[in-house]
Amino acid sequence: MKVLMFGWEFPPHISGGLGTACYGLTKGLVNNDVEVLFVMPSATGDEDQTSVRIIDASDIEVSERCSNVKDFLEKVQFIRIGSNMIPYVDPKEFSEMMTHLQEGQIEDFKLGIGKKYKFSGKYGTNLMEEVARYALVAGEIAMSNDFDIIHAHDWLTYLAGVAAKRITGKPLVVHMHATEFDRSGQNINTEVYDIERIGMREADVVIAVSHLTRNIVINKYGINPEKVVTVHNAVDFQGFQNVQVDRGVPEKIVTFLGRITYQKGPEYFIEAAKKVIKNYPDVRFVMAGNGDLLNRCIRHVAKLKIADRFHFTGFLKGAEVKEMFAYSDVYVMPSVSEPFGISPLEAMRSNVPVIISKQSGVAEVLKHAIKVDFWDIDAMADSIYGLLSYPALSKMAVQNGLEEVNSLKWDGAAYSVKEIYSRLLKNKKK
C-alpha cells in the first residue's frame, strides 16, 4: 500500500506539534508496511527520509494538464491572511502584518501554468496564496506518481488533497490536528474555516486527533458523523530519556513549552506562577516558545513583579526541547483548547510530572496526569505547589506517567490509520 501524503512541515524544520505528529505517524506507517510519499512546500534536503520519500513542491513545474485544478482554485477567494492566524508568527512579524492590513494592501491571487513556485513553507502574510499554489502543484504531483490513497494534514494541505482526489479519483483522508475554533476561539478566520469545511466535505474519511476535536468537526462544520473517526496521537520515544544537563541553579523549575498564543493559555500559567512563588520562593518558571502574545506576556510578568523568577527562552527545537524537559521538575500545559497535545507525553517520557488542562484531547488518554480547568488558576497553582513540595507525590506521578505513556506508541496509531486506508480501498473496489 502506498500513500501520497501532504504536509506543511517535517523535522527538523517544525513550528509545533503538526510536524512532530507527521513524523511519528509516517514512521509508524512504515513499520506497518505502508509506503509514504510525503509532499511539503519547501524541503531543504536535511529531512529524515529513512521512513518516507520527501517530495519538494518547490521543485515541481506545473503543466497544462493541471488546468482543471486551476479552474477549481480560481473559484475560491484568496486574500492575504488576516490577524486570526497570528498564533503562527512572532511579535515582529505580527507588527509587520498589521501594518500591511492597515494600509489595505491586498495582493491579487494569481495562478500560472508552466512555472515552478518557490514556497517559503512558513506562516507569513502570503500564506493563503501559498496554500492555493500548493494545491496546483499537488495536482501535478498526483498525475506523476503511483499511489493508492491520499492523506492531507490540517487545513493548509486540504486543497492539495482535494485537487489530487479530483484528478485521480483516489480516496482522500484528511487529518484534523486543530480546528480554527481551537486557534481563534469564536473570532474565527472565515477563509480558513471555509477551507477546512471544503476539505472535510470532500474527504472520504476525516481523522480527528481526539473525541474533543471530533465533536467540533461534527457540530461546528456539519460533517457527517459516520465518516469522522478518532485516532489519538502518540509520542516518539527516541531521545527523550537519559538526557544529562547541568542545571546551574538550585531552584526547582516549572516549564511551559509551546506557542505563546491565546490557544495555549500562557497568561493563566503566569498568574499561577505568581501564586506559587508567593508560597514557594525556591522555584523558577520558564516559558519556552514564541508567538503573538510573547511581548504581552513579558509585560504581564513585569507587572506582577516576578521577572527575577521567570524566564523566556524563545523558540526551542530538537535537542533543545529534550534538554528543557531534562531541566524541568514540573511541566504545565494550560491550554484553552488543545485538540490533543503531544508535549505532555514527551514530558512524561522524560520523567517529568505533568499538569494539563481538562480542555485538551490528551486528557482523554492520560489517567495519571493532574487535570485542571485552564481558567482555574488556584487549582493550577495548588497542583504545582503539591508536586514541588511533596517528593512522594511527584515520584508517584512520574512512575505512573512513564508506565502509561509507554503504551502510547505511534505504531499503534499508524495501525489504526492503516485500517482506515484498507476499508476505503475495499469499499472502492465494490
User: Can you give the residue range of the structural domain that contains 371?
Assistant: 252-405
pLDDT score of 105: 37
Higher pLDDT, 266 or 140: 266
Residues 317, 303 share a domain: yes
Count Cα neighbours of 7 within 13 Å in the Cβ-side half-sphere: 28
| Look-up of cell digits 515541481 | 60
Residues 284, 151 share a domain: no
Distance CA 79, CA 109 (A): 7
Beta strand 2-6 pairing with 149-153: parallel
Question: How large is the average pLDDT for residues 17-38?
Answer: 91
Residues 52, 152 share a domain: yes
On the question of pLDDT at 275 being above 50, the answer is yes
Residues 52, 151 share a domain: yes
Looking at the domain assignment, is residue 256 inside a domain? yes
Specify the number of domains making up the chain.
2
pLDDT score of 103: 46
pLDDT tens across 345-391, in order?
Answer: 889 888 999 999 999 989 998 888 999 999 999 999 999 999 999 99
Residues 221, 351 share a domain: no
Higher pLDDT, 125 or 388: 388
Residues 102, 27 share a domain: yes
Higher pLDDT, 83 or 406: 406
Distance linking the first and last C-alpha atoms of the chain: 18
CA distances from 211 to 235, 255, 296, 368 (A): 18, 27, 32, 19
pLDDT tens across 163-194, in order?
Answer: 899 889 999 999 999 999 888 877 888 888 98
Looking at the domain assignment, is residue 176 inside a domain? yes
Residues 229, 125 share a domain: yes
Q: What is the DSSP secondary-structure string of 22-51?
A: HHHHHHHHHHTT-EEEEEES---S-S--SS
For residue 315, give the CATH number of its domain: 3.40.50.2000
Residues 224, 83 share a domain: yes
On the question of pLDDT at 155 being above 50, the answer is yes
On the question of pLDDT at 75 being above 60, the answer is no
Residues 223, 87 share a domain: yes
Residues 136, 66 share a domain: yes
**What's this model's pTM, rounded to 2 decimal places?**
0.82
pLDDT score of 428: 77
